[in-house]
Copies of this chain bind each other. A is one copy, B any other.
Amino acid sequence: MSLDRLLGRIDEMHNPSVAGLDPKLEYVPRFLQDAAFVKYGHTLEAAAAAILEFNKALIDVLCDIVPAIKPQAAYYEMYGWAGVRTLVETIRYAKGKGMFVITDGKRNDIGATMSAYAAAHLGTVDVGGVTAEPFGADALTVNGYLGTDGIQPLLDICEKLDKGIFVLAKTSNPSSGELQDQKIGDKPVYEVMGEMCETWGSAQIGAYGYSTVGAVVGATYPEQLKELREKLPHTMFLVPGYGAQGGGAKGVAAAFDGNGRGAIVNSSRAIMCAWKKEAGCSEADFAQAARREAIRMRDDITSYL
């Protein structure tokens, strides 16, 4: 139940990190791009095909050391419906390799429409009596601005199909405070949202003490991470902003509980583009460079726990 599947995999691998797959075409080595251009021309289909090969190669080298991937929907939508097909196929491939998949979509809407998003990303749909799974992720990031009735359809699917959600609380970007740090009474908006996460998850708490409802809290705000960790004991944190955005492992340690559990830290560009940064790395070695960076990140984070 709940996010236990994810927490269990983190324990098994001694690695509380997730690889963000946010693949802009420019992150993909030239030889993979060229192979796709030869086959499909300079089209969105070619971009989508090159990205799928890139993702599969990364998943192959990460699946035995990293518990989860987090594909960011925007980077697939950027390549149209073909890009979205690559998202579907990336999710399927990663699950086939045993990985937990968090689709980063930050979806939000009124109840009826949220039911459609929930069915799309985590659930199934009926097509003339036949059940189909549109995307099939294990968890979805969502935005709670619309309140409970925009979250309830997700909770129903979390319970029925053993899925999870992560709700935005304090995001990692520079201007997150414009709304999120504003005070409602004596509490900042991000804390009000965090408390809603505790409420929404209260009926679905798993064996590790965490519910199906996690929160997104940025690595770039270590003080808020610490504060929210204390105040939200049943809410697992998805922590973006480590590495490329400037969050360090020491600050990120505050996201974890006394047992070193309760959070998962994301890195996207540093892993995907490791081949560009590593001295002397050839393009052909892009996947192993990603693996080396994923191991470095794991060791960096766990050294503080």
A80 interface residue per 8 A CB criterion: yes
Chain B residues closer than 8 Å to A88, beta-carbon distance: 80-81
A42 near B74: Cβ-Cβ < 8 Å: no
> Known: A46-B127, A134-B83. Contact between A171 and B74, CB under 8 A?
no
B145 near A111: Cβ-Cβ < 8 Å: no
> Known: A33-B128, A130-B42, A145-B143. Contact between A182 and B178, CB under 8 A?
no
* A77, A108, A114, A180: most-surrounded residue (chain B CB, <10 A): A77
> Known: A42-B127, A179-B192. Contact between A78 and B148, CB under 8 A?
no
Q: How far is the CA of A193 from the CA of B182 in the complex (A)?
A: 12
A61 interface residue per 8 A CB criterion: no
Q: How far is the CA of A147 from the CA of B113 in the complex (A)?
A: 24
B172 near A110: Cβ-Cβ < 8 Å: yes
Q: How far is the CA of A173 from the CA of B184 in the complex (A)?
A: 21
- Which of B44, B85, B87, B148 lies in contact with A175, CB distance below 8 A? B148
B127 near A74: Cβ-Cβ < 8 Å: no
Name A131-181 residues within 8 Å CB distance of B.
132, 134-135, 143-150, 168, 171-180
> Known: A125-B79, A128-B42. Contact between A74 and B114, CB under 8 A?
yes
Q: Give A251 Cβ to nearest chain B Cβ, in Å.
A: 18
A78 near B145: Cβ-Cβ < 8 Å: no
Look across to chain B and name the residue whose beta carbon is closest to the beta carbon of A89. Answer: B81
> Known: A119-B78, A128-B46, A143-B145. Contact between A179 and B193, CB under 8 A?
yes
Chain B residues closer than 8 Å to A240, beta-carbon distance: 110
A298 interface residue per 8 A CB criterion: no
Q: Count of chain A residues with Cβ under 8 Å from any Cβ of B?
A: 74
A120 interface residue per 8 A CB criterion: yes
A95 interface residue per 8 A CB criterion: no
A65 interface residue per 8 A CB criterion: no
Chain B residues closer than 8 Å to A87, beta-carbon distance: 81
A43 near B146: Cβ-Cβ < 8 Å: no
A183 interface residue per 8 A CB criterion: yes
Q: How far is the CA of A125 from the CA of B125 in the complex (A)?
A: 31
A25 interface residue per 8 A CB criterion: yes
> Known: A127-B25, A132-B44. Contact between A173 and B74, CB under 8 A?
no
Q: How far is the CA of A101 from the CA of B153 in the complex (A)?
A: 28
A168 near B182: Cβ-Cβ < 8 Å: no
Chain B residues closer than 8 Å to A149, beta-carbon distance: 173-175
B116 near A74: Cβ-Cβ < 8 Å: yes
A93 interface residue per 8 A CB criterion: no
A147 near B178: Cβ-Cβ < 8 Å: yes
A113 near B175: Cβ-Cβ < 8 Å: no
Given contacts A44-B125, A149-B173, 14 further A-B contacts (CB under 8 A): A22-B116, A42-B128, A47-B127, A77-B121, A78-B119, A78-B120, A144-B179, A145-B180, A147-B177, A149-B174, A179-B193, A182-B184, A183-B184, A184-B189
